[in-house]
Every structure is written in C-alpha cells, then in structure tokens.
Amino acid sequence: MTDLSGRRALVTGGAQGLGEGMAGALARAGAHVVVADIQDDLGAKVAESLGERHGFVHLDVTDESSWQAAIASATDQLGGLDILVNNAGVEITSLVVDLDPADITKMLNINILGTALGTKHAFLAMRPGGVAGSGGVVINVASVSATIAFPAISIYSATKSAVDRFTRVAAMESGKLGYGIRVNSIYPGLVPTEMGAGLAADVAQIGLFGSPDEAVAAVIDLTPSGRLGTVEDMADAVVFLASDQAKFINGVGLPVDGGMGM
C-alpha cells in the first residue's frame, strides 16, 4: 500500500462525493488531512469520521481571503502542508442556446478561479521560505470532459480544459522557480455522486436521452472498461499522484475514466 505517513493534506470540496473519498483514502494511506468546504456541518462530520488527527476548515474556493485563512488554519492544525487537492467543483447542465450568464460565471469562478487561487496559496505556503516551506504536491481535479465532447456541458467542459492547461503552466513555473512542488491533474470519468447522477438526470430532462439510465448506458458504451467510475477509483489516483511513487510525474493530466476519453 502507498505510504503517505507524515504527509499533511488539504482537500477542497471534501464534504461529500469524490472529495470525501479522496480525504478518506489519503488518511488511510497515513496522511493527516484537513477537509475544506462551504458545507460546514457535512465537512466537519467527514473530518470527525477520519479520526482525531484530522480537521475541518471552512473554505469558499472563490474567495481569496477564505483561502488565506484556510491555508493558515490547515498549516496550523497539521504542522505544515505537503498536499493540496483542488477538488471543489460545480456542473450546471445547459444546451448552448439556453446558457445563463450567472451559471457560466458560477462555473468559471468555482472551477477555474477556485483552482487558481488554491494553487497560488499552496505555492506561497509550500515553496522555500513559505509557512510550510518544504515543497509538495498539488492535484487538480479536471474531468474526462476536458478531453471529449459530451452534449450540454459546454461551459463545464471549458472550465475543465482550463484547469488542465493551468495545471501544466503551474507545474512549469514551479519547476523553473525551484518551488519543489509537483502539479498534476486527474480527468475523472462519470461517477454517480450527487454531481454525476445529477448530470445523467439533467441530460435526460433536456431530452438528449430517454432516461437517466439511458444516459448512463451511453457513457458506459463509450467506456472500454465497461462501467462507470467509482469514488474509490478517483481517490486511488489521487493517493498515487500524491505519493513518492509518482515523484517524476509532473504537469500531466491523468485520465481515470476506464478509457472513455481516449
């Protein structure tokens, strides 16, 4: 099993879904984890379920002062910071002709601005001279939608393509400037979390598929591994990228999609 003993991790959007699974898997691998989310009650419960060496911090990823406070709190609670998982995200389904500017702005803010601010403040904290100061790992959660064209998720897909490109430039800067921080992303396939199940329901409601089950069947049909993804599939990939087993993996987008995006 991958050993992350002594590593200190912050997981955004950790109150439910993939983030909850990632926090749990990092903790089981030995890391001490701070769960960060706008959902305080759920996030605190997840942290409590992980055990006493783990914690919760309120974080709105779109707000820079919230990031400053969260990184300060996490480094204080954990005694440093080695791993940031920028997992918080939102998907609002819409055909292009029905796009709502407020929904577009929300997705841009949470998915792109949130990831950028998180990476900025992780760099400031983890780079030499920062409050944590010993380098580390940033893992951004993009999506298979950054690599394929699935209908009714145009803006969401655009935000995840942005996360993918941002990841690569951030990895390059970190390397060139001697920060000692690897930056990678994963591209999850469809996982039936609240978001994933919601997407299947939405595309059926729009009329693109006869039912949510038909939408899921279409996704599985595009997937060589022949099934949907699981929370565990995504969490395992995050643990791997966070570990020293991935020490020469930098600036990549790792598909964790059963081959759907190839």
- Which active-site residues does the annotation give? 156
Please provide residue 232's backbone torsions phi and psi, each rounded to the nearest 5 degrees: -65, -40
Residue closer to ligand NAD (CB basis): 94 or 127: 94
Residue 261 makes contact with ligand NAD by CB under 6 A: no
- Whose Cβ is closer to ligand NAD: residue 38's or residue 71's? 38
Question: What is residue 260's DSSP assignment?
Answer: T
Identify whether the C-beta of residue 63 lies closer than 8 Å to the C-beta of residue 88. Answer: no
Q: Which residues contact 248 (CB under 8 A, 6 or more apart)?
A: none
Q: Does position 185 bind ligand NAD by CB under 6 A? A: no
* Spatial distance between the Cα atoms of 253 and 257, rounded to a whole number of angstroms: 12
Q: Using CA atoms of 32, 34, 35, 40 in order, give the dihedral in degrees to the nearest 10.
A: 140
Q: Tell me the closest approach of the beta carbon of residue 89 to ligand NAD, in angstroms.
A: 2
Alpha helix (H) residue ranges in the chain? 17-28, 40-50, 64-78, 101-107, 114-126, 154-176, 194-206, 212-221, 231-242
Q: Which of 24, 55, 80, 89 binds ligand NAD (CB under 6 A)?
A: 89
| Closer to ligand NAD by Cβ: residue 159 or 250 | 159
Q: Which of 25, 34, 38, 83 binds ligand NAD (CB under 6 A)?
A: 38
* Identity of residue 46: V
110 contributes a contact to ligand NAD by CB under 6 A: yes
By the 8 A CB rule, do 55 and 78 touch?
yes
Among 87, 157, 223, 250, binds ligand NAD (CB under 6 A): 87
Sequence-ordered list of residues with C-beta below 8 angstroms from that of 122, at least 6 positions apart, any chain: 10, 71, 81, 84, 136, 138, 181
Smallest separation, CB 126 to ligand NAD (Å): 20
Quick one: which of 23, 50, 57, 60 contacts ligand NAD (CB under 6 A)?
A: 60
CB of 66 vs ligand NAD, minimal distance in Å:
8
Among 75, 143, 157, 243, which residue sits at the site for ligand NAD (rule: CB under 6 A)? 143
Residue from 11, 27, 57, 190 binding ligand NAD (CB under 6 A): 190
Nearer CB in complex with ligand NAD: 16/77: 16
d(CA 115, CA 167): 9
Residues that bind ligand NAD (CB under 6 A): 12-13, 15-19, 37-39, 59-62, 87-91, 110, 114, 141, 143, 188, 190-191, 193-196
